[in-house]
Chains A and B, each alone.
Chain A
Amino acid sequence: MTTTVPRSPARISVRDRLLRLAETVTTPLLPEDYLDLIAPLRAGAALRGRVLAVDPETRDAATLTIQPGRDWRGHAPGQYVRLGVDVDGVRQWRAYSLTSAPGRRDGRICVTVKAIPDGRVSNHLVRRLRPGTIIHLDQAQGDFVLPDPAPTRVLFLTAGSGITPVMGMLRAGAHTRSDVVVVHSAPTVDDVVFGAELRALAAQGAIRLVERHTDTDGMLGVDELAGLVPDHLERQTWACGPVGMLDAVERHWDAAGVARRLHTERFRPTVISPGEGGTVTFTRAGLTVTADGATPLLDVGEAAGALMPSGCRMGICFGCVVPLRQGAVRDLRNGELTTAVPGDGVLIQTCVSAAAGTCDIEL
């Protein structure tokens, strides 16, 4: 027979009873709907954060200092957090690496965001976000982290905003436990995010820093690594940067037969390129069908035998709304595209939406 630590039944039942009483008063809302108005960061609330400061790092990057809600469970250096921010009134979720060391006494966390051209969310965060804004958070996640015990020799191979998870590790003292080389690429000297801090660490001899300014010196080729860091294949390597760079790096380490020493972080794992029609999967029904770009997903699903909710079939009643887990759809009324990656929580009206690429529908 197993025994468990007895929970205090009296306390729980009183709390439950109070909660139930509160619910009878607030119905059809929940007590939390009222509490959220006054204490959005309290324990037990959906995880949120208050933006305390937005500090520019370079001309197109800024660090956000965030006070997370009471239920924030902390993070490991190198991990990322998903932020939900309202841009033009629409909730958008994006993942950003945490750049602050874990366990700060004030409990605050930092992420550093680089505005990418036409990036709706990144430009909003860097240029328009105001301190005081409440944003939505997920718990930290990701396995782009240093193991314990730390390896003796480490190479960080980064480009652009790829320095952000590495900065999180350095600020947590990665260089005090390992011999660290940082090879970082950015267009110019002024574009190096955390440039001053990295150079200071290098000047102290805490790390060896190889900066590459690609506007003047060109892109760093993997074949140059042997000259820059002769023992790079023997080092445990963490690489983070654009897709093209990571692909080249993976091929290089593969070819040398030491792929197990390479750890990569891809910021955008799902690249959605909208087109006309696509493969549609109804995930719960386990159905996969091909859809053209002109047939409503409602018709596609019904023809495939999925149990589709439906209503007016003309886009006005919202009776057919279902979650689009990932993929792209086009509004048949005006051609507007909607894209989703997992976690975005995008809901679509199937009666007026057609596939514009591969789609996973949670049904």
Chain B
Amino acid sequence: MTVIQKKPDNPIAHLSAEDIEIIGKELDAIRERVLADRGEADARYIRNVIKTQRTLEVGSRAVLLFSLFPPAWVVGTLGLSIAKILENMEIGHNILHGQYDFMRDPKIHSTTWEWDHVSPADQWKHSHNELHHRYTNVLGKDNDLGYGIMRVDEDQKWHPMHLGQPLWNFLNACFFEYGIAAYDLELGRNLQKGRHRDPAFRARVRAVGRKIRRQVLKDYVIHPLLSGPSFLTTLAATFTANLIRNLWSHSVIMCGHFPQGVETFEKTSIEGETRGEWYLRQMLGSANISGSRLMHTMTGNLSFQIEHHLFPDLPSKRYQEIAPQVRALFDRYGLKYTTGPLPKQVASAWWKVIRLSLPNRRSTQPADGLPTRTLATTGA
């Protein structure tokens, strides 16, 4: 992919400024319809998911106390993996987005929630909700594009370090929560700029340190110790559960913005961006995953990444409900609704990581000299 503004066949060239504002209005109307109906069913849903997750986690950890017996190890590890995935994806991510703030329940609120993850909730909320969701797919603004360690767009400058990015990506997938914590700290940039003495940065590093300590103590010390003779097997089980959770969430998240068909945007294109233009950027900058109900739940409904990016604060279960309306809007305005089954999207994202580890070939170089249209001035 190349930033949308440099494409010879700009996929939004056919839209007038007026069209874009009408699209915005239509999306606002979809949001209003959900808000009018939001209430008891959504509250019941999240409480049920939380209850299921907690029961599953306690049950699995109890079974793992006897993990010396292989069947107990398999059942407990599987259960704990699912519990951790649910906790991060459908519960933590979505509550931290404020999707359930409307309930006014202090126990289920974006300002009080803490999740089973080494990155503290407040740091993640800043880098994810504020930066990534606001600047989705804007090169140089949205660090989710390659997480600062990879090149996932032709218009990102190639560096010999990128030769190793298939390996970096694999390691990041295995230890994804640590990758996220480092990313939320902007570790690379802060160290590079010599900010290691900055008190605010140090305080955030300490907060991450405390969180890591607590998480490691729970999963790799206390729980194995409580397992007595099953110490080593429980240790292996919690490690495996974290690994499975990391690989799964990494795959789902890669599918959100990396697959073929997703557009990126120039930094200058968002100057003076209108509400309609912001919506349009979210529409083109995200990709969905098609699949079963269970798959949607296990991705925290991030399989409806397009709908999530349009309405990050609507309860996640509503995304599948509004997806047909959103898709119809894409069709009406001749826009590409990027979606595909999980294996295809994962493969597409991985292929991009592998392909862009090498410098651009001449033919894929952006066509220099072509008039660049910025999103903000499209049709103007």
Contacts and interface: CB of A to CB of B under 8 A. Distances in A.
Interface string B99-127: 00111111101110011100000000110
Contact of B130 (A86, A88, A317, A345): A317
Interface residues of A, number: 32
Given A24-B218, A318-B313, A347-B109, A90 B223 contact: no
A21 B217 CA distance: 11
Nearest to A89: B43
Contacts of B35: 334, 336
A25 B38 CA distance: 35
Contact of A21 (B28, B222, B278, B312): B222
Contact of B129 (A33, A311, A346): A311
B44 A89 contact: yes
Interface in A211-253: none
Contact of B51 (A37, A91, A318, A319): A37
Contact of B222 (A24, A29, A89, A321): A24
A312 B39 contact: no
Interface in A299-332: 311-312, 314-319, 321
A2 interface: no
Contacts of A21: 222
A255 to B, nearest CB: 44
B214 A28 contact: yes
A19 to B, nearest CB: 14
B133 interface: yes
A86 B103 contact: yes
B105 A91 contact: yes
User: What is the interface of chain A mostly: helix, strand, loop, or mixed?
Assistant: loop
Given A86-B103, A346-B104, A315 B313 contact: yes
B40 interface: yes
B41 interface: yes
Given A24-B217, A24-B222, A89-B103, A318 B40 contact: no
Question: How big is the B interface, by class?
Answer: 35 or more
B38 to A, nearest CB: 7
Contacts of A349: 98
B327 to A, nearest CB: 22
B19 interface: no
A326 to B, nearest CB: 15
B133 A316 contact: yes
A29 B114 CA distance: 7
B215 A27 contact: yes
A318 B39 contact: no
Interface string B209-253: 001001101100011001000000000000000000000000000
B42 interface: yes
Contacts of B222: 21, 24-25
Contacts of B215: 27-28
Contacts of A347: 101, 104, 109, 111
Contacts of B218: 24-25, 27
A27 B129 contact: no
Nearest to B311: A316
Contact of B278 (A37, A89, A314, A319): A314
Nearest to B114: A28
A321 to B, nearest CB: 5
A312 B130 contact: yes
Interface string B292-305: 00000000000000
Nearest to B107: A33
A315 B110 CA distance: 14
Contact of B39 (A27, A88, A314, A319): A88
B130 A90 contact: no
Nearest to B218: A27
Interface in B58-115: 58, 97-98, 101-107, 109-111, 114-115
Contact of B134 (A88, A92, A314): A314
Interface string B275-317: 0001000000000000000000000000000000000110000
Interface string A42-75: 0000000000000000000000000000000000
Contacts of B125: 317-319
A86 B44 CA distance: 10
B134 A89 contact: no
Nearest to A320: B130
Given A25-B222, A317-B130, A317-B134, A345 B106 contact: yes
B133 A312 contact: yes
B32 interface: yes
B50 to A, nearest CB: 9
B204 interface: no
B116 A90 contact: no
Nearest to A344: B104
Which of A25, A88, A318 gathers most chain B CB within 10 Å? Answer: A318
B134 A316 contact: yes
B130 A319 contact: yes
B134 A37 contact: no
B110 A321 contact: yes
Contacts of B373: none
A28 B130 contact: no
B318 interface: no
B142 to A, nearest CB: 13
Contacts of A29: 54, 114
A334 B32 CA distance: 8
A104 B134 CA distance: 57
B57 to A, nearest CB: 9
Interface in A106-149: none
B126 A89 contact: no
Interface of A: 21, 24-25, 27-29, 33-34, 37, 86, 88-92, 311-312, 314-319, 321, 333-334, 336, 344-347, 349
Interface of B: 28, 32, 35, 38-44, 51, 54-55, 58, 97-98, 101-107, 109-111, 114-116, 125-126, 129-130, 133-134, 211, 214-215, 217-218, 222-223, 226, 278, 312-313
Given A27-B217, A312-B134, A314-B278, 14 more contacts: A24-B214, A28-B116, A29-B54, A37-B55, A86-B43, A86-B103, A88-B40, A89-B38, A89-B43, A311-B130, A315-B313, A318-B101, A319-B130, A321-B110
